[in-house]
Structure 1
Amino acid sequence: MSTNTHHQIALTLVPGVGSILIRQLISYCGSADDVFRSPFARLIKIPGIGDVTARAILKQTVLSEAEQVVKRLEKLGASAVFYTDKAYPNRLKTLYDAPALLYFQGAGNLNAQRTIGLVGTRQATDYGRRITAEIIEAVSAYEVNVISGLAYGIDIAAHRASLSNGLPTIGVMASGLDIIYPNIHQKTAQEMLVLGGLLTESAPGTKPDAHLFPARNRIIAGLSDAVVVVEAAAKGGALITAEYANNYHREVFAVPGQLNQTFSAGCNKLIRENKAQIYINPKDIIEALNWDQPASPTGEHRLSKNDSLPLPVDITDEESQLIALLRQSADLHIDDLSWKTQIPMGRLASLLLNLEFRGFVRSLPGKKYAVVYV
């Protein structure tokens, strides 16, 4: 691994430095290498970097720790993926709380065109496992990456059903890559490496701890175009994942269950509170995500000659900017549009709605937008 990767790992090991501060340091210094070469006087001027943090960076004791991490990664055949790397998941790049660094083991693609997250209780019923298998079998025709958490119950059912259908599946872990939890899922985890893989923000050697599981859930939500909660109690990790998915403007589905059943309570609650669409059959998901629509061989929209005509004079500069951006891509998520244009989310939503009413853009499932082609 490169010296810069070594320093990127070291940054995540500095006490008190999280993903937001890492981005701040890189923004001011240019690279992880430059952060560790910067003098105290420069570090102390960076917003959010106080005296204690600056001195911790200058001590550079984390460099030897990072060296041990690199050795463990090499032994595993795994990689460290920094947020500036091409391989870093695009779906996470615009999320304010996304990890600055991820550890990945496997042959899978973290930027697959289509993804779906399946989560639920660790005490899955036969009904829950059957629905999980039904969903995965139905979406297997669309070359989908299946995301889950490698836990007991619905998670492992999703991974195993994916393997049975020849789908790549990624397990997002609350531990280091070298500590499979629960250990009984070792064999499945190994099988997942062939097409998919294992992903975590925790360095090798990190044991699963209670506070790491909610953090893991945000990655599952962020990586997924849609999250399906199959079975869940009134409280628990699956509902946390659904909450993150809603915050990230992802589609959320919940499988309804029998009244007064413990592991139907969470799903029914999500549906009742309008935090999830009701799942009836796989067609609901496929249509909501527009997977049933034909795509061009290149995955890009073809522009008509009308598309190059001058825009009406009453189009504002902001609206013109949005149309120009959408012309460059097949579609863009509203978070990407906000990030690229720096237009506040509330105003952006209003502009897009106006453009949609006027026939210039169309909204797609999953909070995405595209220009209207004729």
Structure 2
Amino acid sequence: MGWYRLKIVGMKNSKIRKAMNLLDTYESLLKLEKNILIKELNYDSNDIELIRKSSEIKEYKKDLELRNIEVINLNDKEYPEELKNISLPPLFLYYMGNISLLKERKIAVVGSRRGTKYGKNFIENLAKTFSENNIVTISGFAQGIDINIHREMLRNNGKTIAIMPCGLDRIYPTEHLKEWKEIIKKGLIISEYSIGIPPYPGNFPLRNRLIGGLGKGVVIVESGERGGSLITAELALEEGRDVYALPGDITSPFSIGCNNLIKNNRAKLITCGIDILEEYQWNIKEKEKTFSIINNEENIVYQQLTTGMTIDELILCTNFDGKKLIGILSELELKNMVIALSGGRYKRKV
């Protein structure tokens, strides 16, 4: 339990891990003679002094307790197997909330910090599907898509995990205080950073590797040509995780990143949460297979799609212009009523 003390006083991860691999407990380390520390662990005088300092830490432990922050290490049974297998697993995870969520089925969801209504509508449907099928979402608590997936999962009584780029004594960003409190009660907030560590710029890509590595896969919902969500996608691919992307309007700056991932075969195209459940053969609740209510224009298009049709063919049948049809087809895909086929064709699901 006390291994984190070595990190607090500044001991290198490699030195801490060496001790953790050799000894069962931190208390066992404190009992070792100086010559054993030098011979068996290859510690120097500075390391031995750090061990002494770590044993004197009292206020820090008290501060953790006052804030209801718990700590697990790489060797604890609660530590997630997914993170053990990434290239740079954190030695320690600080958390607040329900740690058992780390053992459940998990999918990360990230995207633009300036999402559109299109992205928000998709998130609403995705959260409903995941909540009803007991899938835990992972995201980074940032503005835009991240906070939207947290909110929608909470609204649907689902389970969500927020991974922070700073110590858990800081709410970042501060305007998400309401969600912070609710996630602690109903979900889980974790960080590899000890209390007192601010959200330095360099912490964000390191945090993203945890988002990309903790789940079975990562969903990218709207992304510009560059951004943190694309970094998360690449990190996930490097760790052998699946990446999924929501396609969007080719003229929208918010869909460039997703469309490029799909075009370059870096991500699988999805239009709803059921696509992911089917990919992993996770059981789908029967009520999820029911369709959403559609408006009159959507119904006109839907009724035409008994066979695969292109947008040009739909223009002739419906008298709608191309732009309107793209919008209607996107809505029908989000409602799980229409699927996109090869060759730019669309067909209704039933």
TM-score (norm: length of structure 2):
0.75
Paired letter, 1:214 = P
Change (3 A) 1:83 1:262: same
Q: Is 1:218 aligned to 2:209, yes or no?
A: yes
1:16, distance to aligned residue in structure 2 (A): 5.2
- Aligned counterpart in structure 1 of residue 105 of structure 2, from 103, 111, 114: 114
Contact preservation (8 Å) 1:108, 1:194: no
Q: Deviations over 1:313-369 (max 9, x none)?
A: xxxxxxxxxxxxxxxxxxxxxxxxxxxxxxxxxxxxxxxxxxxxxxxxxxxxxxxxx
Please state whether the residue corresponding to 1:180 is helix, strand or coil: coil
Q: CA separation of 1:134/1:77 partners in 2, compared to 1, >3 Å: closer, same or farther?
A: same
Shift of 1:108: 4.8
What does residue 334 of structure 1 align with?
A: none
Q: 2:195 maps to which residue?
A: 204
**Distance (Å, rounded) in 1 between the aligned partners of 2:234 and 2:27:** 36
Conservation of the 8 A alpha-carbon contact between 2:277 and 2:284: no
Residue correspondence of structure 1 range 292-303 to structure 2 within 5 A:
292=283
Deviations 1:144-168 (A, max 9, x none): 1111111100000000000011011
> What is the aligned partner in structure 2 of residue 359 from structure 1?
none
Cα distance change on mapping 1:270 and 1:21 into 2, 3 Å = farther
**Correspondent of 1:57 among 17, 40, 50:** 50
Are 1:237 and 2:239 counterparts? no
User: What SS class does the counterpart of residue 224 from structure 2 fall into?
Assistant: coil
Does the 8 A contact of 1:120 with 1:231 survive in 2? yes
Structure 2 counterpart of 1:142: 133
Q: For the residues of structure 2 that align with 1:266 and 1:56, how far apart are their CA atoms?
A: 50
Q: Deviations over 1:80-115 (max 9, x none)?
A: 111222222222223331111111101352333311
Aligned length: 285
Match of 2:244 among 239, 253, 266: 253
Distance 1:108 1:15 in 2: 26
User: Partners of 1:61 and 1:136 in 2: how far apart?
Assistant: 47
Where do 1:79-228 residues align within 5 Å? Answer: 79-228=70-219
Q: Which amino acid aligns with 1:42?
A: I
Q: CA deviation at 1:39?
A: 4.0
* Bigger Rg, which one: 2
Other-structure match for 1:31? 25
Give percent identity, aligned residues only: 34
Conserved? CA contact 2:161–2:183, under 8 Å: yes
SS in 1 for 2:95: strand
How many Å separate the matches in 2 of 1:262 and 1:40?
A: 61
C-alpha distance in structure 1 between counterparts of 2:281 and 2:58, whole Å: 45
Q: Is the 8 A contact 1:108 1:193 kept in 2?
A: no
Contiguous gaps of at least 5 residues in structure 1: 295-374
Equivalent residue, structure 2, for 1:266: 257
Q: Which segments of 5 or more consecutive residues in structure 2 lack a partner in the other structure? A: 286-350
Shift of 1:61: 2.4
2-structure distance, mates of 1:168, 1:174: 20
Tell me if structure 2 keeps the 8 A contact 1:117–1:147.
Answer: yes
What displacement does 1:45 show?
4.5
TM-score by length of 1: 0.70
SS at match of 1:220: helix
Q: Does 1:9 align with 2:4?
A: yes
Offset at 1:68? Answer: 2.9
Give the residue type in structure 2 aligned to 1:61: K
User: Post-superposition shift, 1:229?
Assistant: 0.7
Cα gap change, 1:273 to 1:62, in 2 (>3 Å): farther
What do the CA deviations read for 1:270-289 (whole angstroms, capped 9, x no partner)?
Answer: 22222211122222111112
Classify the secondary structure of the residue corresponding to 1:262: coil
**Letter of the structure 1 residue corresponding to residue 53 of structure 2:** T
| Counterpart residue type for residue 193 of structure 2 | S
**Cα 1:114–1:50, aligned 2, differ >3 Å: closer, same or farther?**
same
One-letter code of the match for 1:54? D
Q: Quick check: 1:77 aligned with 2:68?
A: yes
Give the aligned residue type for 1:123. Answer: R
